[in-house]
């Protein structure tokens, strides 16, 4: 039982309006369960979010989170950003994704659109190493300040290699 | 007491510094002990008793659940979601299990959906009981806490019936299995929690 019924007409409206306003920027879209997901160009993400907020009534940014796709054969490491938007008035939610190469982890900040993204962007920086140009206070939020890695990247091992006070004998190995 | 000490202008002159000597102080509020429900530090910039700005350190009890969830079977993560909010653990269990079901494209029976809604509502009520009772404790009213906890105990006895333990119940799997079993809707539970004597 989905928490939100699929609103095919609202989904279609977003598809049409977004396609008309940003014909080059929407790279892919899919319906995953009750949410429509758009993969967009990183360069247009800020403009698209402003458009969705001002023109299509998506007044609430539910979450902003990083992603990491490790390198596979023929593909470089990719970082990404997932953003969930919610329109309270229309009871409608969509998801946006944008990818960027690991070597160029910079996104524009979204704090000018939604001030609440301040801490979410700090979290994405802390755990994935994404940077947000123009962020007012971009520093680690949950890990300690001198933490030497971005721990949610897939190549970071589960057990903390920076710890010297625990070894295998403590885990019965 | 001599009259000289009590002279008002003497005290005023001594205690209120002239405006050009005012300066901002840094005050560490916390980090508080984990037993105080959420270790948390505020670095305050104070102008006298007025807070000019605050810088938060919120990561002390971050426990890397997402990282652990990368490499473990999903049922090992259920017990972690209990600990996210142990006052309404079933709600977090449902959040995790519904995510897994979405990924695996599992459709649950209607009966499971209803049981989950009931479970989550009971957990929400129990959580609000704890929340409001503890506000009483923090303001010095321990009696209200002990009274209202009896009502939470009713709910936890229902939790025990389904999950075999109350806090945290690690619920989602239990709800799914009991909902698909052959118990008829009108069947009474083996022990009647409504009539058991209250301790």
Window 141-170 of A, Cβ < 8 Å to B: 141-144, 151-152, 154, 156, 158
Give tens-digit pLDDT for B117-155. 998 999 999 999 988 888 888 888 888 888 888 888 888
User: Which residues in chain A are contacts of B102 at CB distance < 8 A?
Assistant: 32-33
Q: Which residues pair with B108 in a beta bridge?
A: none
Higher model confidence: residue A104 or residue B175? A104
Whether residue B62 contacts residue B149, with contact meaning beta carbons closer than 8 Å, is answered with no
Closest chain A CA to residue B40: A142
* Angle at the Cα of A75 from the Cα atoms of A70 and A78, rounded to 5 degrees: 45
Measured distance CA(A96)–CA(A119) in Å, rounded:
19
* Angle at the Cα of A25 from the Cα atoms of A21 and A31, rounded to 5 degrees: 90
Measured between CB atoms, which of A142, A151, A154 is closest to B58?
A142
Question: Could B58 and A141 be called an inter-chain contact, meaning their C-beta atoms sit closer than 8 Å?
Answer: yes
Measured between CB atoms, which of B64, B67, B102 is closest to A33?
B102
**Is A5 in the B-facing interface, judged by CB distances under 8 Å?**
no
Closest chain A CA to residue B62: A142
Question: Could A144 and B59 be called an inter-chain contact, meaning their C-beta atoms sit closer than 8 Å?
Answer: yes
Q: How many CB atoms lie within 10 A of CB A93?
A: 20
Measured between CB atoms, which of A1, A32, A151 is closest to B67?
A151
Give the model's confidence band at A60: pLDDT under 50 very low, under 70 low, under 90 confident, else very high. very high
User: Which residues in chain B are contacts of A154 at CB distance < 8 A?
Assistant: 70
Residue B68 to chain A, least CA–CA distance (Å): 7
Measured distance CA(B42)–CA(B31) in Å, rounded:
7
Q: Is the pTM of this model over 0.80?
A: no
Residue B19 confidence (pLDDT): 65
Residues of chain B contacting A, Cβ within 8 Å: 58-59, 62, 64, 66-68, 70-71, 102, 108, 110, 113
Q: How many CB atoms lie within 10 A of CB A114?
A: 17
Residue A114 confidence (pLDDT): 95
User: Which residues in chain B are contacts of A35 at CB distance < 8 A?
Assistant: none
User: Which residues in chain B are contacts of A33 at CB distance < 8 A?
Assistant: 102
Window 127-146 of A, Cβ < 8 Å to B: 140-144
Residue A105 to chain B, least CA–CA distance (Å): 21
User: Which residues in chain B are contacts of A152 at CB distance < 8 A?
Assistant: 66-67
The DSSP result for chain A, as a single string, is --SS---HHHHHHHHHHHHHH-TTTEEEEEEETTEEEEEE-GGGHHHHHHHHHHHS---EEEEEEEEEE--BTTB--EEEEEEEEEETTTTEEEEEEEEEETT--EEE--TTT-TTHHHHHHHHHHHH--EEET-TT-S-SSS-TT--S-TTSTTS-SS-TT--S--GGGGT-
Residue A45 pLDDT exceeds 90: yes
Per-residue pLDDT of chain B (199 residues; tens, 9 = 90+): 455 555 555 555 555 556 666 788 899 988 877 666 667 888 999 988 899 888 888 888 888 888 888 877 888 888 888 888 888 888 988 889 888 888 888 888 898 889 889 989 999 999 999 888 888 888 888 888 888 888 888 888 888 887 766 666 666 554 544 444 333 444 444 444 444 344 3
Give tens-digit pLDDT for A109-155. 999 999 999 999 999 999 999 999 999 999 999 998 888 889 999 88
Question: Could A1 and B62 be called an inter-chain contact, meaning their C-beta atoms sit closer than 8 Å?
Answer: no
User: Which residues in chain A are contacts of B110 at CB distance < 8 A?
Assistant: 1
* Angle at the Cα of B29 from the Cα atoms of B23 and B31, rounded to 5 degrees: 145
């Amino acid at each position: 039982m989905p928490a939100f019924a699929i609103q095919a007409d609202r989904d279609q409206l977003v598809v049409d309006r977004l396609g008309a306003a940003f014909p080059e920027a929407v790279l892919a879209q899919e319906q995953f369960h009750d949410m429509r997901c758009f993969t967009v160009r990183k360069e247009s993400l800020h403009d698209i979010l402003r458009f969705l907020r001002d023109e299509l009534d998506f007044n609430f940014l539910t979450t902003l989170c990083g992603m990491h796709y490790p390198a596979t054969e023929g593909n470089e490491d990719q970082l990404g950003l997932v953003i969930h938007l919610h329109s309270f008035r229309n009871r409608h939610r969509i998801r946006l994704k944008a990818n960027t190469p690991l070597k160029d982890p910079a996104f524009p900040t979204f704090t000018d659109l939604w001030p609440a993204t301040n801490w979410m962007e700090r979290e994405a920086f802390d755990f994935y190493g994404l940077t947000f140009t123009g962020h007012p206070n971009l520093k680690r939020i949950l890990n300690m300040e001198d933490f030497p890695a971005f721990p949610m990247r897939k190549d970071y091992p589960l057990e903390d290699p920076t710890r010297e006070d625990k070894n295998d004998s403590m885990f019965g190995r | 007491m001599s009259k000289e000490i009590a002279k008002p202008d003497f005290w005023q002159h001594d205690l209120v510094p002239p405006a050009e000597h005012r300066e901002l102080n840094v005050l560490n509020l916390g980090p508080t002990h984990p037993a105080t429900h959420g270790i948390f530090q505020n670095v305050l910039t104070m102008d006298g008793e007025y807070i000019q700005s605050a810088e938060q350190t919120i990561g002390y009890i971050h426990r890397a659940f997402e990282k652990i969830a990368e490499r473990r079977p999903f049922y090992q993560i259920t017990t972690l979601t209990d600990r996210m909010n142990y006052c309404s653990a079933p709600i977090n269990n449902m959040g995790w299990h519904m995510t897994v079901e979405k990924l695996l494209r599992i459709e649950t029976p209607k009966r499971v959906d209803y049981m989950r809604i009931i479970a989550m509502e009971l957990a929400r009520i129990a959580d609000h009981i704890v929340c409001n009772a503890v506000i009483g404790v923090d303001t010095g009213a321990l009696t209200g806490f002990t009274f209202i906890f009896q009502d939470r105990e009713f709910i936890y006895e229902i939790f025990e019936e389904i999950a075999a333990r109350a806090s945290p119940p690690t619920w989602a799997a239990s709800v799914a299995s009991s909902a698909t079993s052959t118990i008829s809707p009108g069947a009474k539970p083996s022990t009647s929690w409504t009539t058991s004597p209250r301790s």
